[in-house]
């Protein structure tokens, strides 16, 4: 793949130069490396996969082996400018508690997750009567790591309940590309949600 | 004994000795008027002296970290799994320095050396050295070798403590710090184990308050017990179950107190081997250095404040079944470093081998360590090696 994935390209617009970032479930460190090089951002990635941790080290980013389900109590309040979590919210034990933690540590947070209200998903369930599978969600109901699927509206209701303010939001398709059509009716036409949130 | 030297070995190596005439004032206030450090080097120092790696040894280690002294050697140096051409610390790119610490018994000045003031062996009168004293003496060795800044200082266990000390004592002289299976200070449990080991030695009738050489004895049984206890703390329950289970040497119970279980004879063997090669006074000293290590003490007991002094990047590694320096102890270091806004990476390696794992060729460990050392090489602008 050439260049940066589109959702990562969107995220980077919301990260301030020279700031400090924590990337939860940082994978091979692609985003952190990009932010380091293009915005002089400092930061850490948290990851639990052995090979991805080694890849991060090869990639020249700081990576800390840590399971997000065990909490983030090792990071101090407001110690990070932006806490980022791409495509991991739906896979953690308690997304609501992790969201609280992200906004305790971070002044701002950026979250991306697959939209279960995407029209194809809705039609899949309606027409086939089975749990939806797609390129974004390729797993069976019994072996999926995505244990907490939600829709845009679900997420926004959660944010409202917690007094979390949404600074920016956008949607991308499964190729992680933005398209005007999706922005017209994001809850139905957007496949992946990208939210920029804060408690302030 | 190797019939042929393996291709990824540093090959045959010989130790060298550096003499120092400048007195060294120790943490205790006592002064070593002069001393020798014995060391080995592997690889070539480059023209701008930017590719040097310092290896810090653990409790019973020495300067012989890699390669063979002769074709008759049964085993290579203690960290041969990690040092050599193509290994994590690749000697085609790096110049590696490994030394025997002050107070040791493998050639550097220690309790078995002659005290110039009395003309007799130091014995128990050798001053108690602290980790910071070792680091200061290592810095003088670096000066003598023309090394202004280490590309990396690397060590496991007590070696990792020296690495931490380097990072705050000489922040401008360390580019990368690799701290493996270590801790920012000992726990009460760790100190207790050391004290039991020291008591075993001190209460051995052959110890003679440390003057055993004068009596022509060695406190063999004390050393054996100390080593057996130490060895227990290096292994995990899992590792011992895997290695020995409840296997009996003769396949049946003999209803005697001689060693019957395999694990007993293994411990006896390890203790026996150790008691003939290691000096008891050195063992007492080294365990004291471990107990005293607590760099945060000088910074209001605040490890964050302490490690804020450092300027290097860190790699911290722990092992799942290490209960002597458990992963939580490594995390104390990692958390202090993130709070101090330092560059740090951390991995906890799955292993059944307990504390000993840091010496073993565990694939994930070697890959990760190798990847980090490549990063060290890149940050020092070292040329690539052709495969």
Q: In terms of CA atoms, which chain B residue is nearest residue A76? A: B339
Chain A residues near any Cβ of chain B (below 8 Å): 20, 42, 44, 50, 53-54, 56-58, 60, 62-65, 74-76, 79
Each residue of B291-333: pLDDT tens digit?
A: 999 999 999 999 999 999 999 999 999 999 999 999 999 999 9
**pLDDT tens-digit series, residues B124-174:** 999 999 999 999 999 999 999 999 999 999 999 999 999 999 999 999 999
CA-based max dimension of chain A: 50
| Inter-CA distances, B304 with A43, A197, B111, B327, Å | 17, 30, 36, 18
In a mutational test of the B interface, the residue from A54, A81, A105, A106 whose CB has the highest number of chain B CBs within 10 Å is A54
Contact A53 B343 (CB under 8 A): no
pLDDT value of residue A181: 67
pLDDT of residue A2: 41
Cβ within 8 Å, pair B339-A58: no
Beta-carbon count within 10 A of A21 CB: 25
Does the distance separating the beta carbons of A65 and B348 come in below 8 Å?
Answer: yes
Alpha carbon of B74: minimum distance to chain A alpha carbons (Å): 34
Nearest to A62 among B339, B345, B368 (CB): B345
Q: pLDDT per residue over A77-112, tens digit each?
A: 999 999 999 988 999 999 999 999 999 999 999 999
For A21, the closest chain B residue by CA position comes to B341
pLDDT score of B201: 97
One-letter-per-residue 3-state SS of chain B: CCCCCCCCCCCECCCEEEEECCCEECCCCCEECCEEEEEEEECCCCCCCCCEEEEECCCCCCCCCCCECCCCCCCCCCCCCCEECCCCEECCCCEEEEECCCCCCCCCCCCCCEECCCCEECHHHCCCCCHHHHHHHHHHHHHHHCCCCECEEEEECHHHHHHHHHHHHCHHHECEEEEECCCCCCCHHHHHHHHHHHHHHHCCCCCHHHCCCCCCCCCHHHHHHHHHHHHHHHCCHHHHHHHCCCCECCCCCCCCCCCCEHHHHHHHHHHHHHHHHCCHHHHHHHHHHHHHCCHHHHHCCCHHHHHCCCCCEEEEEEECCCCCCCHHHHHHHHHHHHHCCCCEEEEEECCCCHHHHHHCCCHHHHHHHHHHHHHHHHHCCCCCCCC
> What pLDDT score was predicted for residue A180?
67
Residues of A in contact with B348 (CB under 8 A): 65
Partners of residue B344 in chain A, C-beta under 8 Å: 44, 62, 64
- Which residues of chain B have a CB within 8 Å of the CB of A50? 364
pLDDT tens-digit profile of A14-32? 999 999 999 999 999 999 9
B311 vs A: CB within 8 A: no
Tell me the catalytic residues of B.
157, 322, 355
In chain B, whose CA is at the least distance from the CA of A78? B339
| Residue B371 to chain A, least CA–CA distance (Å) | 5
The answer to whether residue B315 neighbours chain A at the CB level (below 8 Å) is yes
CB contact under 8 A, B341 and A76: no
Distance from CA of A35 to the nearest CA of B (A): 15
Q: Check CB contact under 8 Å for B338 and A42.
A: no
B381 touches chain A (CB under 8 A): no
Which of B341, B348, B375 lies at the smallest CB-CB distance from A57? B375
| Mutation to test the B interface, candidates A45, A53, A79, most B Cβ within 10 Å | A53
CA–CA dist B158, B166 (Å, integer): 13
For the cut 60, the answer to whether the pLDDT of residue A33 exceeds it is: yes
Q: How far from chain centre, in Å, is Cα B336?
A: 23
pLDDT digits (tens, 9 = 90+) for B65-86: 999 999 999 899 999 999 999 9
Q: Give how far A58 is from chain B: nearest CA, Å.
A: 5
Nearest CA-CA distance, residue A23 and chain B, Å: 13
pLDDT above 90: percentage of residues in chain B: 87
Would an 8 Å CB–CB cutoff place B314 in contact with chain A? no
pLDDT tens, B244-265? 888 888 888 889 888 888 889 8
The stretches of A40-178 forming alpha helices (DSSP H) are 50-58, 95-105, 119-128, 152-162
């Amino acid at each position: 793949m050439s260049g940066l994935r589109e959702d990562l390209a969107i995220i980077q617009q919301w990260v301030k130069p020279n700031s400090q970032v924590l990337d939860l479930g940082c994978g091979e460190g692609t985003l952190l490396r990009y932010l380091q090089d293009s915005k002089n951002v400092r930061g850490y990635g948290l990851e639990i996969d052995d090979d991805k941790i080694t890849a991060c080290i090869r990639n020249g980013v700081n990576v800390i082996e840590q399971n997000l389900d065990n909490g983030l109590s090792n990071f101090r309040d407001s110690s990070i400018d932006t806490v980022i979590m791409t495509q991991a919210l739906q896979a953690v034990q308690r997304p609501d508690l992790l969201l609280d933690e992200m906004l305790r540590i971070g002044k701002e947070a950026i979250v991306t997750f697959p939209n279960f209200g995407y029209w194809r998903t809705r039609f899949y369930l309606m027409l086939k009567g089975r749990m939806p599978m797609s390129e974004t969600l390729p797993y069976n109901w019994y072996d999926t790591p995505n244990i907490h699927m939600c829709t845009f509206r679900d997420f926004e209701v959660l944010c409202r309940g917690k007094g979390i303010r949404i600074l920016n939001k956008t949607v991308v398709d499964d190729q992680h590309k933005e398209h005007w059509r999706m922005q017209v009716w994001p809850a139905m036409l957007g496949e992946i949600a990208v939210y920029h949130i804060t408690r302030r | 004994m190797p019939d042929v030297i393996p291709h990824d070995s540093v090959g045959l190596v010989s130790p060298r000795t550096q003499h120092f005439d400048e007195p060294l004032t120790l943490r205790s206030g006592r002064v070593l008027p002069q001393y020798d450090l014995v060391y080995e080097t592997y690889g070539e120092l480059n023209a701008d002296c930017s590719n040097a790696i310092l290896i810090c040894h653990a409790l019973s280690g020495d300067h012989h970290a890699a390669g063979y002294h002769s074709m008759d050697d049964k085993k290579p140096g203690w960290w041969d799994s990690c040092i050599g051409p193509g290994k994590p610390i690749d000697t085609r790119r790096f110049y590696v320095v490994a030394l025997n610490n002050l107070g040791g018994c493998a050639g550097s000045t220690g309790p078995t050396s002659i005290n110039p003031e009395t003309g007799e062996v130091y014995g128990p009168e050798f001053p108690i050295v602290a980790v910071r004293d070792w680091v200061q003496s290592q810095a003088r060795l670096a000066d003598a070798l023309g090394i202004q800044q280490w590309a990396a200082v690397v060590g496991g266990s007590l070696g990792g403590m020296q690495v931490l000390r380097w990072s705050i004592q000489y922040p401008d002289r360390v580019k990368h710090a690799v701290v493996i299976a270590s801790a920012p200070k000992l726990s009460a449990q760790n100190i207790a184990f050391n004290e039991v080991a020291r008591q075993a030695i001190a209460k051995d009738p052959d110890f003679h308050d440390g003057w055993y050489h004068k009596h022509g004895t060695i406190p063999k049984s004390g050393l054996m017990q100390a080593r057996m206890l130490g060895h227990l703390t290096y292994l995990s329950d899992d590792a011992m179950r895997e290695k020995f289970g409840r296997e009996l040497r003769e396949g049946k119970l003999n209803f005697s107190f001689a060693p019957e279980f395999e694990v007993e004879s293994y411990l006896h063997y390890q203790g026996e081997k150790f008691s003939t090669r290691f000096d008891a006074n050195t063992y007492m000293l080294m365990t004291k250095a471990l107990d005293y290590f607590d760099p945060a003490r000088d910074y209001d007991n605040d490890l964050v404040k302490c490690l804020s002094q450092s300027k290097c990047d860190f790699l911290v590694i722990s092992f799942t079944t290490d209960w002597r320096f458990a992963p939580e102890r490594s995390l104390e270091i990692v958390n202090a470093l993130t709070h101090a806004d330092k560059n740090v990476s951390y991995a906890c390696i799955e292993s059944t081998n307990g504390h000993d794992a840091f010496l073993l060729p565990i694939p994930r460990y070697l890959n990760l360590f190798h990847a980090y050392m490549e990063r060290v090489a890149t940050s020092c602008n070292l040329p690539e090696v052709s495969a």
